[in-house]
């Protein structure tokens, strides 16, 4: 469930990094963490779970480190994850055998 409270500074930094992922690409929770100087992919996931700015902050573009879809709307499987897959495919992300195609993986930073 999304919170009505204002985002913390940490959540705001997660949301800003998430908005930098272009349509047709995905990043991992760990990628986002590294981009903002946080070593906890889990903390990034928890911040995205509370994302009050979707779809402008496209948390559906964030996946697990092995490029599996991971969770969505706080759910690890079921209709929400199927919706995440549909949203990604609509943006041009290829999903093969339950994983995002490696060439759809966005890298943050110089030389990305």
83 contact partners, CB below 8 Å, separation of at least 6: 72
Tell whether 76 is covered by a domain. yes
Looking at the predicted structure, is the pLDDT value of residue 86 above 60?
Answer: yes
Structural domain includes residue 2: no
Q: Is residue 3 part of a domain?
A: no
pLDDT single digits (tens) 89-102: 999 999 998 899 99
Q: What is the pLDDT of residue 111?
A: 53
Domain of 93, in residue numbers: 9-103
Q: Stretch 26-45: mean pLDDT, rounded?
A: 96
Q: Is the pLDDT of residue 68 over 90?
A: yes
User: Residue with structure tokens 């573009």?
Assistant: 61
| 53 within some domain | yes
CATH number, domain at 15? Answer: 1.10.10.10
pLDDT at 9 over 60: yes
Residue 53 has pLDDT above 60, yes or no: yes
pLDDT above 60 for 26: yes
Higher-scoring residue by pLDDT: 87, 111: 87
In the predicted structure, residue 2 carries a pLDDT above the cut 60 = no
pLDDT of residue 70: 83
Q: Kindly provide the b/e burial profile for residues 48-73, where b requires at least 16 CB atoms within 10 angstroms of the residue's own CB.
A: bbbbeeeeebbbbbbbbeebebbbbb
In a domain, 31, yes or no: yes
Please, which residues bridge with residue 105 across strands? 26
**Would residue 1 count as lying in a domain?**
no
User: Total domain count for the chain?
Assistant: 1
Query: Does 91 map to a domain?
Result: yes
In a domain, 15, yes or no: yes
Catalytic residues, by residue number, are: 59
Residues 32 and 24: beta-carbon distance below 8 Å = no
Q: What SS3 state is found at 62?
A: strand
């Amino acid at each position: 469930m999304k919170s009505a409270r204002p985002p913390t500074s940490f959540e705001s930094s997660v949301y800003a990094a998430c908005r930098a992922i272009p349509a047709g690409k995905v990043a991992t929770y760990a990628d986002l963490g590294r981009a903002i100087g946080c070593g906890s992919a889990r903390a990034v996931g928890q911040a995205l779970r509370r994302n009050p700015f979707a779809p402008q902050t496209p948390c559906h573009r964030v996946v697990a480190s092995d490029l599996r879809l991971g969770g969505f709307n706080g759910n690890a499987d079921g209709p929400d994850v199927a919706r995440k897959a549909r949203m990604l495919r609509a943006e041009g992300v290829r999903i093969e055998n339950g994983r995002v195609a490696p060439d759809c993986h966005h890298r943050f930073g110089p030389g990305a």
